[in-house]
Structure formats: structure tokens, C-alpha cells
């Protein structure tokens, strides 16, 4: 897989980040789920869920697909929320800085086509509720990326597993001089952890 050069550099940075033992324990639940799917030769569907489906869940959908592909796994990576807003423009700017090629279709809540390699189809992402028709309706893991959605959605219809992997919201730094830094920091953390997850999966 020929990744774009800037993206390859950021992936190397992400892989070099230390992951604390307490985070590894959180991620192990996702690793175990994925390993079981691989062992049973079943399709992998991950739906990353956060309240507005605008920042953390979008980063996770994108990095989930890239991390899997980087380690040789073909998965379906989705994202959703409990309210429809839009893929936040600050988060879009962050993935562009990381070297993704991004095109946009529509206004208000546009669809974004996110390319990580000229050899791969784009990741299509936009804000939607978790059970939008664009997402898998059953046989998926609901990966809860924010505390609000995790605590306020006690039941996710169609999910065969519910796995909390929570991240701090970079929204707290909107319109400050740390905005770009904090968005990139969160994106890099998510990249680091999902690359770690897929590095731990054993093939037959």
C-alpha cells in the first residue's frame, strides 16, 4: 500500500508514541473483539460513536480504516452519533495537515471523501446518527469514543459488542491559539492507539 508521504511520516510518529498501561487495558477489549472476528473468519464492522459525530468519532473512523489497512486487514469503518451536525471544519483541517487528500460534496453537512492512498477507495464520512443507512445495521461493534454518548446511549440497536474507548474533546480549544495543536494531538493519539490495536491482531 502506497501511503501519501506526509501521512506515512505521521504514522511513524504515531507508532512512536508511548501508550500507558491503563490505556492498553482499555484497548485490549477492542483487540480481543477483533481477534475473535479474525479467528472466526467473520467480517469486521466498527462503528465509532460520539454525540455529534463531528470530531473524535470522525478521526476514529478514518484512522480505524487506515490502521487496519496498514496492518493488512480489510474492515468496514463507520461513525455515527445521536445528533446530526457536520464533520467539524477544524477536524477536517487537521486530517489535511496529516497528509490525507480530501474532497467535499455538498453544503451544511457535506460528504467528505478522504483518500490515504491512490491505490485505495476513499473513506466517505459525514455527520449522521449511528443507525444511518450508510452504517452497518447489525453485526458491528459500537466503539464509544466520548463519555456523553457512552453514558446517554445505554442501548445501541444492532451492536453485537459495545466497547468504550473514550477520548478528550478538542472542542475545548476551539478559537484559541492552541486549536490546531490540540486537534492534531487528539488525531495523533487516536492514530497511535488504533495502529497499536491492529498491530496486536494475529492472523492464522
Residue 114 has pLDDT above 80, yes or no: yes
What predicted TM-score, i.e. pTM, was given to this entire model?
Answer: 0.96
Average confidence score pLDDT of the chain: 96
pLDDT tens, residue by residue, 143-162: 999 887 766 666 798 999 99
The alpha carbons of the chain give a radius of gyration, in whole angstroms, of 16
SS (H, E, C) the chain: CCECHHHHHHHHHHHHCCCCHHHHHHHHHHHHHHHHHHHCCCCCEEEEECCCCCCHHHHHHHHHHHHHHHCCCCCEEEEEECCCCCCCHHHHHHHHHCCCEEEEECCCCCEEEEECECCCCCEEECCCECCCCCCCCCCEEEEECCHHHHHHCCCCCCEEEEEECCCCCHHHHCCCCCHHHHHHHHHHHHHHHHHHHHHCCCCC
What was the pLDDT predicted at 154? 65
What was the pLDDT predicted at 162? 95
Contacts of 96 (CB under 8 A, 6+ apart): 102
pLDDT tens, residue by residue, 171-189: 999 999 999 999 999 999 9
Q: Say if residues 127 and 84 touch (Cβ distance below 8 Å).
A: yes
Q: Say if residues 3 and 116 touch (Cβ distance below 8 Å).
A: yes
C-alpha grid cell, residue 70: 496498514
pLDDT tens, residue by residue, 59-106: 999 999 999 999 999 999 999 999 999 999 999 999 999 999 999 999
pLDDT tens, residue by residue, 5-39: 999 999 999 999 999 999 999 999 999 999 999 99
Domain range summary for the chain, segments of one domain joined by +? 25-199
Domain at 25-199: CATH architecture: 3-Layer(aba) Sandwich (3.40)
Q: Which band of pLDDT confidence, cut at 50, 70 and 90, is reported for residue 1?
A: confident
Q: Say if residues 193 and 27 touch (Cβ distance below 8 Å).
A: yes
Higher pLDDT, 149 or 52: 52
Amino acid at each position: 500500500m502506497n501511503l501519501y508521504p506526509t501521512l506515512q511520516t505521521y504514522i511513524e510518529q504515531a507508532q512512536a508514541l508511548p501508550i500507558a498501561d491503563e490505556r492498553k487495558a482499555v484497548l485490549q477489549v477492542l483487540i480481543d473483539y477483533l481477534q475473535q472476528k479474525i479467528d472466526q473468519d467473520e467480517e469486521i464492522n466498527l462503528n465509532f460513536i460520539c454525540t455529534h459525530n463531528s470530531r473524535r468519532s470522525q478521526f476514529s473512523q478514518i484512522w480505524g480504516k487506515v490502521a487496519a489497512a496498514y496492518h493488512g486487514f480489510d474492515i468496514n469503518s463507520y461513525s455515527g452519533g445521536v445528533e446530526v451536525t457536520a464533520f467539524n471544519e477544524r477536524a477536517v483541517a487537521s486530517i489535511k495537515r496529516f497528509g490525507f487528500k480530501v474532497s467535499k460534496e455538498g453544503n451544511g453537512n457535506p460528504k467528505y471523501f478522504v483518500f490515504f492512498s491512490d491505490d485505495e477507495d476513499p473513506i466517505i464520512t459525514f455527520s449522521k446518527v449511528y443507525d444511518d443507512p450508510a452504517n452497518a445495521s447489525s453485526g458491528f461493534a459500537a466503539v464509544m469514543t466520548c463519555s456523553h454518548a457512552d453514558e446517554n446511549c445505554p442501548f445501541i440497536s444492532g451492536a453485537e459488542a459495545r466497547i468504550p474507548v473514550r477520548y478528550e474533546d478538542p472542542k475545548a480549544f476551539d478559537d484559541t491559539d492552541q486549536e490546531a495543536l490540540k486537534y492534531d494531538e487528539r488525531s495523533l493519539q487516536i492514530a497511535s492507539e488504533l495502529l497499536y490495536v491492529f498491530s496486536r491482531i494475529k492472523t492464522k
